[in-house]
Amino acid sequence: MTINIVVIGAGNMGRNHVRILTENPRYKLQAIVDANPSAGNLPEGIAVFDSIDALAASGTPFEAAVVAVPTPFHFDIGMQLVKLGKHLLMEKPLCATHEQCQTLIAAAAQAGVKLAVGHVERYNPAIRKLDEIIKAGWLGEPIHISTVRVGGYPRSLKPGDNVLIDLAVHDIDVIRSVFGPLKVEAGISHTTINKEVPDTAELLLRGASGLSVSVHVNWITPTKIRKLQVTGTKGVCFVDYMLQSCELYGGNLLESGPGQLTDFENLIRQYQNSDRIVFGVNKEEPLKVELQAFADFLSGKTAPICTGVDGMHAVQLARNALALCNNQGGEFY
């Protein structure tokens, strides 16, 4: 079954969706909607409209839409498409607030519309490999997770933008998808460049099993870093999202008791003899994997999709973290 689909928003992410959809035989890209139709870098032969109203009036056939517009517009555009009875892949975050998420999810359910959220990092092959490693017991019992996602100040800021809703939701969703429910325990943020907008944050979360999680995000570091580290009872696993690599360290150093480390040379020798396993990762563009999963989802097949409820939980956790960051605590001593 070929899925007739449209893309709403022709910015950087929207153009990536356009590129992949036109290459995927499971989709027929029928149109693009953008308030600035002359934005450029759009494929020839695809109809371009300046509004959803104009798209609907044209009679262009479509069953589904990818929404890749700035976050403040997600709710209104999502509701407009739901009223038209169209299935949605909404780029993250689902909406700007928890209340908007709830309303959109309820409206989609009532209209019989399928709703997915574009948390693309959960489709990164390195994360899928990490999930396999944990389920196979290589890491033992996970105890602590730390993540770093930094670099790249936005070219333009929209009302409500901040580094938590822009970056932290990625890691929150990934950790939830692999390890289960989370709650925010503490947070601290900085407003470095624009004094009204948090651009750096450090969060501490806890998993339902007692797992501890630290998340660092910023728009300040001049180079992009996207990494995740999981400490377990059998070793430590390092994931690099950008290189799509997954490595596990453990072995002799972890098996040796403190009493055996009698001198510095022995410590170095045991460290060098520690096991290091570099797992094979079949590198793929995560967005391609996500759009394949969305096609399966629309076709009624079992698919590892990020649901509307998943997206809502990520937004709520980010909002909880922002509230804690804004609470500066007590006195300095």
Q: Where are the domains of the chain?
A: 3-121, 122-287+317-326
DSSP class of residue 159 equals T
**Which H/E stretch holds residue 28?**
strand 27-33
Q: Which CATH architecture has domain 3-121?
A: 3-Layer(aba) Sandwich (3.40)
| pLDDT tens string 234-287 | 889 999 999 999 999 885 434 544 445 456 666 566 556 667 788 899 999 999
Please state, in angstroms and as integers, the Cα–Cα distance from residue 24 to each residue in 3, 20, 160, following that order: 10, 6, 34
pLDDT of residue 59: 94
pLDDT of residue 123: 96
pLDDT of residue 35: 86
Domain 122-287+317-326 listed as CATH 3.30.360.10: yes
CA 288 – CA 16 distance, rounded (Å):
10
Name the region of 44 (left: φ>0; alpha: ψ -120 to 50; beta: rest). Answer: beta
CA 80 – CA 93 distance, rounded (Å):
17
**What 3-state class would DSSP assign to 18?**
helix
Could you identify the residue written with the tokens 């929209």?
Answer: 158
pLDDT of residue 268: 61
In CATH terms, are 3-121 and 122-287+317-326 the same topology?
Answer: no
**Which H/E stretch holds residue 188?**
strand 182-190
pLDDT of residue 254: 42
pLDDT of residue 256: 44
| List of the chain residues with pLDDT < 70 | 37-40, 251-274, 328-332
